[in-house]
Structure 1
Amino acid sequence: MAMKRKLEDFGELWPAEEQILAEIDSGEDIELHDGLPPKTPSEKYDVRAEFIRYLALGGCKACGLHEKGLRIVGARIIGVLDLEGGDLPRDLGLFACPFESELVFLSAKLQSLFLNHSLLPEGLSADRLEAKGNVVLDGVEAHGAVRLLGAKLGGDLDCDGVTFNAAKDGAGKPTGFAFGADGLEAKGSLLLRDVEAHGEVRLLGAKLGGDLECSGATFSAAKDGEGKTTGAAFGADRLEAKGSFFLRDVEAHGEVRLLGAKLGGNLDCEGATFNAAREDAGKSAGVAFGADMLEAKGSFFLRGGARISGRISLGLVEIHRELMMAADI
């Protein structure tokens, strides 16, 4: 189906779309509902994804997209929001919006993207996304992988409080990764504080200009058909971060891998709990925390009630300052 390129292509606008068009030049949040709207259809907050796409790409002169961009609160977005390859001239903010289908930002170029507290039933496909500013997913609930492989950001990737759920197999078990940002390049920090991830969080070869902050997060590896933990819970092999990596009070079920990672600051695992995959008898099997060949220009802290159930592997680790370990292993 051809994309709609002109306002008249949409025919009679839906009531919520008329409200958006009337307020689009205000520079303020366009509030269709206070927070997430109900799941039931309503002309007060139902908006076509195609209409959002049209406006986000600039719309027409009559639309009058404000310099601050398009900012909508509480819309129930109907259809696939497909911005693959799009060049968005302004910020796009879709706050507390339940989406009916997938979001596609493959190879898109934009200023900043805000999806705070939105519901993504089929995840987010944003491989090779380029953002001059930040990508903010605070409080998002995602069912299906959130993908930013090879994305390039001029600021932060902010995922504080997100619930990531990998796609599920026929038995309802999470498979594959829940959050994937292999090859990500961000000039700022990656924030994953208080995240809950069901399926692997993967950052292979990512490069950060700031910190990787995961304090308070829970990472759970995917499980096979028999319910056994498989693969890693968190994989950041070859990560390069100019700042520190914080894993304070993290709880991981499945291996945490940092093979060959390079940090400009500290590796801080105070109060963390790392659990390796388990055998049939319930015994830990394999590595719980693997950081072979890691280099940190700061210190490595594994104390403050830290617990490790399984093996810890620190072969050829290079710590430039202090190595302080007082964990229950």
Structure 2
Amino acid sequence: MEIDDLTPAERRVWRAFPTGATVDFREGAEGAPGADRGPEPSVRAAVLRALLLNGPREPSEVAALKVVGARITGQLDLRHASVDSVVRLQHCRFDAAPRLAGAHLNYLNLSDCVLPGLAAARSRIDGSLRLSRCRIDGPLQLGGAQISGALFVDRAEITAEDPAQPALALHQLSVDDDLCARGLRARGLIRLDGATVAGSIDMEDAELSNPVGCVLAAEALTVGANLLARRMRAEGRIDLRGSRVPGRVDLLHSSLSNPGGTALRMSSCVIGELWLREGPPIAGRLNLRRAEVGQLHLAPEKLPEQVRLLDLTYTFLTPHEPAQRRLPMLERDDGAFDPHAYEQLTAAYRTTGDDRAARLVQLAKQRRHRRTLPWYGRMWGHLQDAAVGYGFRPLRAAGWLLSLLAVGSIAYAGHHPPPLKAGESPHFSPVFYTLDLLLPVISFGQEDAFAPTGWFQTLSYVLILTGWILASTVVAGVTRTVSRQ
């Protein structure tokens, strides 16, 4: 391409390229005459392509394409090209979506630009890719791209005009630094399946919307540090199944909404810390099945009506809440009875030294299990619950024993049963006679020496039967406690 074929605006860009100087068309400098169409001077994409592939060079200078405030006409096509110059096109308006699929770039900065899309799948960028504050009215395609630096889409506005296409296609993306999406506004699906980010993902204050389906698909996502999403507002399903985040997944003050479906799916994830506190309750189902969390920061008021916790494991649970506020979380699981969830909550309370709360969780576990038993199992369970609280309320057994002892002692004190062998029987004691009836193992020699009649004989049968039931429930409770320890 000859310089005589260029417009005045393009000549400025051509002359500035060899030294890496910045051409800012917003300054109204010389060389940007009114002959250019519209308020934005136009630069043909073909001219930019020629500069990047075969542009002039000067000795001891670093060539770079730095343009601010231009209109890029035509389509910038650098597919499978190798560009060793820095590319910085800021505050520019593109008539067509740049095509960078398979390209190898040094550094690309398109901050504050307006684009109808960007096709850069399988591209390789040795530095960072900046799309800060861009308005992209079409898909951003970076699937399979490799970025040696960071990816910036902070405060960008991205809209997928075709609902069948993702707004951000970032699947299999590899970023060697951070992915900054703070304040991002996206309308449509964001695909991060299989992506790898060596640093952190920052989505604080982001607004994501795809009410008809999934808004963030990030299965098998690998993050080197943290996933930060404070104050994020998301309409649609967030799917993080199988993701790995060794640091913190921070959803403080977030608003997650997908009524009638799953709002947040984190099944089979491995997470260092999960923060789900403050802000409105999750509108939709929360799925944490088979997840492994080191420290779970979970506020009861944040939970939705449906929570799936099958095989969820965690080491610490904060903030410390009474068992009565944590147990409804386990009742909201719409699956089958899962004893593991109760054991996890019990272990969390024992870690903090709250044995009373741990016993309440174990008691709730037995009561939940009772609902799954046949009628005779449920009946026996009710007896154990009423007698000694399944062994977790041992003082209740002492209360029953003292009450029955008082009833029997008073009854037999007013009516001594006749001795079986007159002259050979020991002195009758209503207290020890009642204890003989109540305690199935210990004998004080009273029961075998006297034979009550009539109503008092019926009372003796009731005391014997009640004593056996009480002893059986105590033994069952002690057995559970010992085996648990």
TM range (shorter): 0.7 to 0.9
1:237 aligns with 2:238: no
Query: Residue 37 of structure 2 corresponds to which residue in structure 1?
Result: 41
Q: Which amino acid aligns with 1:84?
A: R
Query: Residue 24 of structure 1 corresponds to which residue in structure 2?
Result: 17
1:288 aligns with 2:288: no
Q: Which amino acid aligns with 1:199?
A: G
Write the distance in 2 (CA, Å) between the matches of 1:68 and 1:304.
51
Query: Residue 319 of structure 1 corresponds to which residue in structure 2?
Result: 293
Residue 137 of structure 1 is aligned with which of 123, 127, 131?
Answer: 131
Q: Which amino acid aligns with 2:55?
A: G
1:238, CA displacement in angstroms? Answer: 0.4
Q: Of Structure 1 and Structure 2, which has the larger fraction of its residues in strand? A: 1
1:66, CA displacement in angstroms? Answer: 4.9
1:299 aligns with 2:273: yes
Name the SS for the 1:315 alignment partner.
Answer: coil
TM-score by length of 1: 0.85
Q: Which amino acid aligns with 2:26?
A: H
1:288, CA displacement in angstroms? Answer: 0.6
1:83 aligns with 2:78: yes
Q: Is the contact between residue 21 and residue 64 of structure 2 (CA under 8 Å) also seen in structure 1?
A: no
Query: Residue 369 of structure 2 corresponds to which residue in structure 1?
Result: none
Q: Which amino acid aligns with 2:237?
A: E
- For the pair shown, which has the larger CA radius of gyration, 1 or 2? 2
Residues 1-329 of structure 1 correspond to what in structure 2 (within 5 A)? 7-8=1-2, 12-33=5-26, 41-42=37-38, 45-61=41-57, 66-67=61-62, 69-121=64-116, 123-168=117-162, 174-221=163-210, 229-276=211-258, 284-296=259-271, 298-326=272-300, 327=302, 329=304
Write the distance in 2 (CA, Å) between the matches of 1:98 and 1:236.
31
1:28, CA displacement in angstroms? Answer: 3.2
1:247, CA displacement in angstroms? Answer: 1.2
Write the distance in 2 (CA, Å) between the matches of 1:294 and 1:16.
53
TM-score by length of 2: 0.59
Stretch deviating more after TM superposition (101-110 or 50-59): 50-59
Write the distance in 2 (CA, Å) between the matches of 1:59 and 1:301.
52
Q: Is the contact between residue 55 and residue 65 of structure 1 (CA under 8 Å) also seen in structure 2?
A: no
Q: Is the contact between residue 148 and residue 175 of structure 2 (CA under 8 Å) also seen in structure 1?
A: yes
Q: 1:65 to 1:255 in 2, by over 3 A?
A: farther
Q: Of Structure 1 and Structure 2, which has the larger fraction of its residues in helix? A: 2
Q: Is the contact between residue 34 and residue 74 of structure 1 (CA under 8 Å) also seen in structure 2?
A: no
Q: Is the contact between residue 43 and residue 71 of structure 2 (CA under 8 Å) also seen in structure 1?
A: yes
Write the distance in 2 (CA, Å) between the matches of 1:306 and 1:11.
63
Write the distance in 1 (CA, Å) between the matches of 2:80 and 2:13.
24
1:328, CA displacement in angstroms? Answer: 5.4
Name the SS for the 2:84 alignment partner.
Answer: coil
Write the distance in 1 (CA, Å) between the matches of 2:57 and 2:221.
44
Q: Is the contact between residue 163 and residue 197 of structure 1 (CA under 8 Å) also seen in structure 2?
A: yes
Q: Is the contact between residue 99 and residue 120 of structure 1 (CA under 8 Å) also seen in structure 2?
A: yes
Q: Is the contact between residue 247 and residue 272 of structure 1 (CA under 8 Å) also seen in structure 2?
A: yes
Percent identity over paired residues:
28
Write the distance in 1 (CA, Å) between the matches of 2:55 and 2:279.
55
1:146-186 per-position Cα deviation (integer Å, ceiling 9, x unaligned): 00000001111111011011023xxxxx4421001100011
Q: Is the contact between residue 34 and residue 73 of structure 1 (CA under 8 Å) also seen in structure 2?
A: no
Q: Is the contact between residue 15 and residue 44 of structure 1 (CA under 8 Å) also seen in structure 2?
A: no
Write the distance in 2 (CA, Å) between the matches of 1:44 and 1:254.
38
1:125-153 per-position Cα deviation (integer Å, ceiling 9, x unaligned): 00001011100100010011000000001
1:198, CA displacement in angstroms? Answer: 0.6
How large is the Cα RMSD of the aligned pairs?
2.1
How many residues are treated as equivalent by the alignment?
297
Q: Which amino acid aligns with 1:256?
A: I
Q: 1:83 to 1:324 in 2, by over 3 A?
A: same
Higher relative contact order (CA 8 A, sep 6+): 1
1:61, CA displacement in angstroms? Answer: 4.0
Write the distance in 2 (CA, Å) between the matches of 1:210 and 1:79.
36
